[in-house]
Structure 1
Amino acid sequence: MSTTSEVQWSELQRDPKSVAAIAEQHEVRVKRRDGADLLLVRADQHQDRHNGAATAARAIRSVFRHVGPDVVADALKDEFPWISVLPESDRAEFVQEFIQAINSSAELGQWSLLGTMAHEWANTAIVHANPEIYQTLSTPISVKDLDPGHPEENE
C-alpha cells in the first residue's frame, strides 16, 4: 500500500533534509500555491512502477490476443458503454488501438495517451449515435461546398 505525505513548498525550502527523509519512506506531495503540486519519489521506486506498468501492459496484450477482439470489446463495455454504438469494424479497430495505447502509455509512462485515445473514440461513438451528424460527416465534400461561388467542374 502506497502512502503519500503532503508538505508545503516552503517546508521543502526551509528543511529539505527532513522532506528527503520522508521521501525515503514513501512519496511526498509538495503543495504549491502558484502551480500544480509536485510529487517527490525515489528514482528506484519510480522505475519499479514503470517496469510494473510495462509488464502489466504486456500481460494484458497477451490475454487480449488469446481471447480475441469480440470478447475484449464485450469486456470493455463495462468501462466504455459507448462501444455498443460503434459499427463492428470500428469496435475491432478500437480494441486494437486500445491495446496499442496501453502498451505505449506503459512504456513511455505517459498515461494521457490512453486517455486521449479513449476520448477520441468516444467522440467517434457520438457521431455514430447521431444519424444526422453521421450523414453530414459521411457525405463527400465538393468544391462547391468549400466555395459556393465556384462553378462545378462538370456543369
Structure 2
Amino acid sequence: MTAENAVNFSELVNKNKQTLARLKESPRLLLHRRDGEDLVLTTAARAEQDQTVVSAATRMLAAMARREPGSMELLLDILPDAFPWVRFLPEPDVHAFAVELVDTMRAADSIGNSASVAQLLVAWQHTAEIHSDPELFEALSRDHDADYGPVPDPRGVA
C-alpha cells in the first residue's frame, strides 16, 4: 500500500469521519499501530469482492489441473514464473508442491480461510532455500547416528 493509503491507528480513533472518508478514494487503508500488528481497513463489499476473485481463481486453477494430462505440465511449466524459488527444488518436489498447492487452495477456499495456503507457500519456499545451499542441505540431510533419548512431552514443560 502506498503512503497516502496509510494512517496511524490513532487517526481512526481521533478523526474517525475524516479517516473513514478516505475509503472512498482507496479500497483499503493501512492502519499503523504502535503496540501491535498493523491492520487493513476496507469495506465489507470490497472484502467480499476480493474473496470472490480469489475463490474464482482457485476454482479455475483446480479445474485446469484436473483436466487433460497436459494441464499439469502447463502448471509445472508456469510455476517458476510465479514462484522463482521452485527452480531450487528437485523435480519430484516441484510436482508435489504443485499438487499440494492446488489441493490446499481448494480446501482453504471451501472454508474461506487462506492461512493454510500462506503457510504452505512459506514451508515450500524454506525447502527451496535449503536445496539452494549445498552446505545447509548436506548438514540437514546427513544421517545423525546419535540418539539423544526420549523427547519429553512439551505440554509437561513449564
TM range (shorter): 0.5 to 0.7
Higher gyration radius (CA): 1
After superposition, where does 1:105-144 map in structure 2 within 5 Å? 105-107=108-110, 110-126=113-129, 130=134, 132-133=138-139, 136=142, 139=143
Gaps of 5+ in 2: 150-158
CA distance in 2, matches of 1:86, 1:46: 34
1:16 to 2:12 alignment: no
Quick check: 1:6–1:29 contact (8 Å CA) kept in 2? Answer: yes
CA distance in 2, matches of 1:103, 1:9: 35
* Cα drift, residue 72 of structure 1: 1.5
Q: Secondary structure at the match of 1:40?
A: strand
**TM-score scaled to structure 2, two decimals?**
0.65
CA distance in 1, matches of 2:88, 2:71: 19
**TM-score scaled to structure 1, two decimals?**
0.66
What's the C-alpha RMSD, in Å, of the aligned pairs? 3.2
Q: Secondary structure at the match of 2:146?
A: helix
Quick check: 1:24–1:42 contact (8 Å CA) kept in 2? Answer: no
* Cα drift, residue 112 of structure 1: 4.4
Which residue in the other structure is 2:71 paired with? 68
Gaps of 5+ in 1: 149-155
Give aligned pairs, total: 140
Deviating 4+ runs (over 6 angstroms) = none
* Cα drift, residue 133 of structure 1: 4.3
Question: Any idea what the Cα deviations from partners look like across 1:9-58, whole Å, max 9, x if unmatched?
Answer: 33222232333333355332223333332222111221121122111111
After superposition, where does 1:1-155 map in structure 2 within 5 Å? 5-24=5-24, 26-66=27-67, 67-107=70-110, 110-126=113-129, 130=134, 132-133=138-139, 136=142, 139=143, 145-146=146-147
Percent of aligned positions with the same letter in both sequences? 25
